[in-house]
Amino acid sequence: MSEFDSNPFVDPLDLNPFQDASITQATRGAPKNVGEFNPFSATEMGTHSGTTIPISAAASQPAILPTSVEQSAQANVAAGQANLLKQQEELEKKAAELERKEQELRNRTAARAPNTGAKENNWPPLPSFFPVRPCFYQDIEEEIPEDYRRICRRMYYLWMFHSATLFLNVLACLAYFTADPQYGIDFGLSILWFILFTPVSFICWYRPVYKAFRSDSSFSFFFFFFVFFFQVAVYIIQTVGIPKWGNSGWIASISMIGTNLAVAVVMMVVAGFFTVNAVLAIILLKMVHSKYRRTGASFTKAQQEFSTGVLTNRTVQTAAASAAQGAFGS
């Protein structure tokens, strides 16, 4: 029965590996002072404390936000604020300009006649108590296109300089007359030229070029060129200064040097003014002609404008109808 008393589940080959003869021999040959090492014991920690490297010495410096990044962020914020302020100033300027233009438009609307709605004449700028009322309406900023405003202003300045020269010519001819009574005819003619040529020049060559620039009228351009060519010729004659023609030009002023030097100097100044008028007139004539060539105007178009203007003019129609009625009635 002994074989039945043994444990049938025990492996007969299950042996303790540490009971092997070789292992046992090696274990017996090991030094006796070698013990089980405990790294957390106080003794071991004290023994190896001299060789331990502190964490603070080995660790790198902690991460800190660089100052340059903060400064760049502040600079970006400041630049953004400056940009916003600049845009706000530009918007305020544009708003002020728009308000000014609206005010000008309201003023122009208020300046129109209350009943007819037509523009009220504003030139010449006479005071309200003056018995004569303005004869023309003129506003270069409103009526003249931007491309022609500069030269139109120059033509207006030329006309004003022309008028001032004619007035000074009267004074020079008066001095001429006082120095020599035989030149009284020059003084009389100078008054006539001032009274006649000041308004005639405005109507005959400045207003046509103003209308030409305002409405791109070929007829006004041709009329201006025709009249202004004669104006340039008159300037040249006045600059020459033929005696007894009513002009204080170079010939008349030089002839007075031996007689009265002071009068000669005054006349030379006026002769210089006439010279400047002639030079400016030639320059502006070329400038107006260059502008005219860009507008596409032509002589055929001028004829059509003239025919249309004559046929649609009520004054001409009334005169033609009266003439026809008189012819048939007789």
pLDDT in tens, 296-309: 655 565 556 556 65
pLDDT of 320 reads 44
DSSP states of 165-178 = HHHHHHHHHHHHHH
- Do the Cβ atoms of 284 and 151 come closer than 8 Å? yes
Higher pLDDT, residue 9 or 127: 127
Higher pLDDT, residue 238 or 130: 238
User: What are the helix and strand counts (H, E) for the chain?
Assistant: 14, 0
pLDDT digits (tens, 9 = 90+) for 43-67: 545 555 455 555 554 445 555 555 5
* 327 pLDDT tier (thresholds 50, 70, 90): very low
Distance CA 266, CA 108 (A): 44
- Do the Cβ atoms of 271 and 248 come closer than 8 Å? yes
Q: Is 136 helix (H, G, I), strand (E, B) or coil?
A: strand
Q: Mean pLDDT score of the chain, rounded to an integer?
A: 77
Residue with tokens 């002023």: 253
Q: Is 217 helix (H, G, I), strand (E, B) or coil?
A: coil
- Do the Cβ atoms of 137 and 235 come closer than 8 Å? no
> Structure tokens of 31?
């030094």
Of 170-174, 279-283, 317-321, where does mean pLDDT reach its minimum?
A: 317-321
Please name which of 231, 210, 234 lies closest in space to residue 221, comparing C-alpha atoms.
210
Of 10-14, 98-102, 173-177, where does mean pLDDT reach its minimum?
A: 10-14
> Structure tokens of 36?
């089980």
Give the residue ranges of DSSP H helices in 180-298: 184-201, 207-215, 218-240, 250-255, 261-295
Distances from the Cα of 316 to the Cα of 57, 112, 207, 329, angstroms: 113, 27, 21, 20
Q: Maximum Cα–Cα distance for the chain, whole Å?
A: 185
pLDDT of 288 reads 92
With a cut of 80, say whether residue 213 has pLDDT above it.
Answer: yes
pLDDT of 215 reads 85
> Structure tokens of 89?
């100033």
Threshold 0.85, pTM exceeds: no
pLDDT of 53 reads 52
- Cis amide bond preceding 125, omega within 30: no
Distance CA 278, CA 284 (A): 10
* 230 pLDDT tier (thresholds 50, 70, 90): very high
pLDDT digits (tens, 9 = 90+) for 122-139: 888 888 888 888 888 998
Higher pLDDT, residue 171 or 310: 171
Give the Cβ contact number of residue 98 at 10 Å: 10
In the predicted model, what is the mean pLDDT of residues 279-305?
Answer: 77
